[in-house]
Amino acid sequence: MSAAAEVKTLKIDGTDVSARADQTILDAARENKISIPTLCHLDGLSDVGACRLCLVEVKGMRRLLPSCVTRVEEGMEVTTQSDRLQKYRRMTLELLFAERNHICSICVSNGACELQSLAQSQGLTHVEFPYRYPRLPVDASHERFVMDHNRCIMCTRCVRVCSEIEGAHTWDVMGRGIDSRVISDLGQPWGSSDSCTSCGKCVQVCPTGALFEKSKVGSKTGKNPDFLPYLNMMRDGNQ
């Protein structure tokens, strides 16, 4: 606890807050009820800074920093809401919508999707970027679950929960840039995976309709990722 007990003092949106030296700006903000939008972050998983929605301004830095992977520092002055941040957050969401085929009206997660609700809370009513309409597969080979690549935003929550919590590491990422895909095992149909334990954690942490349970649609698809911090706590023996 020696390093962890070190306390830093900083300002977030003009408010003085304190945080442990090993905490991120996002941790400190949320502990103080300052909300920062996130998509790839999930309490209980490691952070990768993939989605860029949690970007914040830090005084003295020209570039924006992802708050989920930026540690607090003494005297830091952080801004979480500004026109500039709003612009980039919307742009990030627009790019996510334009990249694959997110057709909310017919999605199993319509009404229970983090991408959809973030678009609304960030005031996004349309997408300025031209849609790409890629032709992507739907893998329904698993007995209980489906992977629909049309809805995937490459947040990699499924990859991380499978590796870090379940310990199976069935999921990983193949390809680069816009050609990236989440794959099971060595890029084979999910139903033929040797490592998948069918635990369903990936489905519960997926923010969109990319991973879903067969026979569940609409309001029934609400995901329940709240078990993660508890699992971690029990494992660490910190009960």
Residues that bind other proteins (CB under 8 A): 97, 101-107, 110-111, 116-117, 119-120, 122-128, 130-131, 133-136
Which residues in 97-129 are b (16+ Cβ under 10 Å) and which e? bebbbbebeebbbbebbbbbebbeeeebeebee
Nearer to other proteins, 108 or 147 (CB): 108
Cα–Cα dist 177/113, whole Å: 24
Cα–Cα dist 67/113, whole Å: 22
Report the nearest approach of other proteins to the CB of residue 119 (Å): 6
Single-letter amino acid, residue 58: V
Nearer to other proteins, 129 or 230 (CB): 129
* Distances, alpha carbon 35 to alpha carbons 39, 79, 143, 227, 236, in Å: 13, 11, 38, 21, 28
Cα–Cα dist 61/75, whole Å: 13
Nearer to other proteins, 32 or 101 (CB): 101
**Which residues are CB-contacts of 60 (< 8 A; sequence separation ≥ 6)?**
77
For the chain, the residue count is: 239
Nearer to other proteins, 41 or 102 (CB): 102
Nearer to other proteins, 123 or 229 (CB): 123
Alpha carbon of residue 26 to chain centroid: 13
Strand partners, 66: 55
Dihedral angle computed from the Cα positions of residues 192, 207, 151 and 93, in that order, rounded to the nearest 10 degrees: -150
Nearer to other proteins, 138 or 234 (CB): 138
